[in-house]
Structure 1
Amino acid sequence: MFLHFVLFNILRWSFVFVIRILKYVLVRVIDIMENHNITMLRAVDAFQEQFSVKVRVIRVWEHPERRNPSQLYSLDMILIDEEGTKIEATCLNRVLRQFQQSLVEKQCLIIRNPTIGFNNSTYRYDDNQNRLCFQGTTEAIQCEDIGGSPYGIDFMSFADILNSNAVSNSTVDVIGYFTRSFPKETVTNKGSGKQSVKVTIEILDLERRTLFLTLWDQYCDQVLSFFETIKGKNVHAIIILQFGKVKWWNGVEYVKNSYTVSRLFCNHDCPEADEFRNSLIENSVEVTESTSLGSMGKSVEEEFLESKYFSIFVMYFRLRRFARSLFWVI
């Protein structure tokens, strides 16, 4: 009797083990087949049907109804594949329930049978002209990590921004070390009467080029809270702004956050910040009062009026006025 019991348990556990092995093999076979049928984001277009992409969700935000802002219109996101190609994606509220658990930041997915449309947004958060859309027939399957940065950060150099090489309707990622901060300001919207707060800070790159960042509302509060935590400490304050918009004020380029889509990192524990910090140390950039605490300077407008840029503009307009007077005399 005891022997029968032992044999029964051996057979039972052997059967369970074989089933688990078969299940693992089947999953791997399906995964391999899926990978062979994966379309890279650079190759997708609006004419494709029945295709799959393998991506990481790097940013998610809610898009409210225009006429009724309290109601959700869609869940919008930015996806990236293993080649580093990005695409914006939209999941309308009517089909959101079947995907909501999978559409979280850092999650890697195989998305089957989405549709592709043209991205006609005023501002794009990537340089892809297409947009991926989730439909009722779309499937989103969690998969293994695709590698690469979990945030999909792709820095644009200060030189390209300051030389006006940034695409006007696209966003940029920047990194630099903090040197000073201008006073916090409260701005009232003339149309709605809504009040917002902003702060402008100055950051430098490894070549000591200067770039101004203007941060609004929650981004303003975030960076000012960070400054409080490092007050009195000799540390390099590494600032990363992802999905920022390049703007011009009196001919000077600066970068601002893009509403709620931008991501602000202040001395964040990530490979990009660590690499930049190590380069600072290698280049013997010392931590001073301005690089650790920042200096509360004059307003941005006062700074500009006293800068070399203002002198150049004054000279330019004087020469143009003089040239016009010569033209009329002739």
Structure 2
Amino acid sequence: MSYTMLNYITPLKENWKIKVRIVRVWYVPDYNKPEKIGSIEFVLVDEKGSKMQASIKQTLIQRFEKLVNEGSTCIISNFGVGKNYGKYRATYVIGTITGIGKMIDESKGSTPNFKLPLEIEDQQKNKLKTTLWGKYAEQVSNFVKDDIQGHVVIIIQFAMIKIFRDEVTLQNSLFATKIFLNEDMSEVRDFRGSVSIIGGDDSRSQNITQLPSQMSHSLSDEFLIMYERKQLDEICETNKKCYFVTFATIVGIESDTAWYYNSCKQCNKKVDYEGGGRYWCQKCDAHVQSALPRYKVTLTVEDDSGTTTFVMFDREIFQILQISAMDLKDKLSKEGR
């Protein structure tokens, strides 16, 4: 019986048959009902070492849950394939902890959530900035509080990679990441041996420096790790106000509606033109003499689960175009458009 290797799998058909080992399984809770499982996520590896992330959606969990066991080998056939739009990858990073920052409390309400910046170094003295959140931050912080002799070797599996201005950084995922600290395993022993050869005696206490407080990630990075990722079809099923991260491609811009609206300079809300150069702001309950154009663009976006409509407002469109709605309107008017 023949099987397809994972690196040959494409979205062009669904009648694939693969033989793989399940190396990691984690459960993602349903956003509206956290006590229920929203999906089962897992990572597959074939005999060539190629990896692929897989997912079982909520409607199929009861049928397949008992068949998905970490460490088991299985044959899978007739499944859908889509592009991974997210930043999660089946990563494996090993290094020594050379720097650690102050634990920052980012808790909201009764749910604890801590952030911990780290600096990790490999055998060639390459450094990697890393941010850990939640239980992973507490795990590392509690470990390094003890008087550890020698290098603190850390292994981070199943994390998220960020590349910005040619700099690679690392963050844990919400549910998938595994962290090992000074574990008694061959990878750690081999790494210690290479560090001892390159850097000298490993028996002395490793000097972990205190990272400056300004070493942090952008607000956008924090948003990506603090809020749950959902596909477009899952967002459309949500029935309450909430925040999500989604990764989709803009495939169209609606041209039948205006790309801007006239806004009140005080509250930024839409105003109605009354004539005679006067506008009415319902939010301020007052007449205004002039209005400021602000972007409001309707987009069609797509991911592997389907398409939907998003609306982007002034701040986001300005970040992309680097020109205000007023200046763009004036420019188009001068060009006769």
TM-score when normalising by structure 1: 0.57
CA contact (8 A) 1:46 1:115 kept: no
Q: Which residue of 2 aligns with 1:222?
A: 139
How far off is 1:244 after superposition?
2.5
CA contact (8 A) 1:247 1:254 kept: yes
Structure 2 CA distance, aligned partners of 1:298 and 1:187? Answer: 18
How far off is 1:41 after superposition?
1.3
Structure 1 53/246 Cα, relative in aligned 2: closer, same or farther at 3 Å? Answer: closer
Structure 2 CA distance, aligned partners of 1:278 and 1:183? Answer: 30
Structure 1 53/252 Cα, relative in aligned 2: closer, same or farther at 3 Å? Answer: closer
Q: Which residue of 1 aligns with 2:97?
A: 178
Q: Which residue of 2 aligns with 1:3?
A: none
Q: Secondary structure at the match of 1:118?
A: coil
Structure 1 CA distance, aligned partners of 2:96 and 2:166? Answer: 23
Q: Which residue of 2 aligns with 1:60?
A: 25
CA contact (8 A) 2:88 2:160 kept: no
How far off is 1:206 after superposition?
0.9
TM-score when normalising by structure 2: 0.56
How far off is 1:197 after superposition?
0.8
Q: Which residue of 2 aligns with 1:44?
A: 9
1:210 aligns to 2:210 (yes or no): no
Structure 1 CA distance, aligned partners of 2:164 and 2:19? Answer: 41
Structure 2 CA distance, aligned partners of 1:63 and 1:202? Answer: 28
CA contact (8 A) 1:173 1:242 kept: yes
How far off is 1:205 after superposition?
1.2
1:100 aligns to 2:15 (yes or no): no
State the AA in 2 paired with 1:260.
F
How far off is 1:120 after superposition?
4.6
Structure 1 CA distance, aligned partners of 2:161 and 2:9? Answer: 28
> Over aligned residue pairs, what C-alpha RMSD do you find?
3.0
Equivalent residue runs for 1:64-75 within 5 Å? 64-75=29-40
Q: How many pairs align?
A: 216
Structure 1 124/289 Cα, relative in aligned 2: closer, same or farther at 3 Å? Answer: same
Please say which structure displays the higher CA radius of gyration: 1
Long gaps (5+) in structure 1? 1-35, 127-171, 303-330
State the AA in 1 paired with 2:54.
A
Structure 1 CA distance, aligned partners of 2:75 and 2:84? Answer: 25
- Over the matched positions of the two proteins, sequence identity in percent amounts to 26
Long gaps (5+) in structure 2? 217-337
How far off is 1:218 after superposition?
0.5
State the AA in 1 paired with 2:169.
Y
Q: Which residue of 2 aligns with 1:278?
A: 193
Structure 1 CA distance, aligned partners of 2:89 and 2:215? Answer: 29
Higher strand share: 2
Q: Secondary structure at the match of 1:38?
A: coil
Q: Secondary structure at the match of 1:79?
A: strand
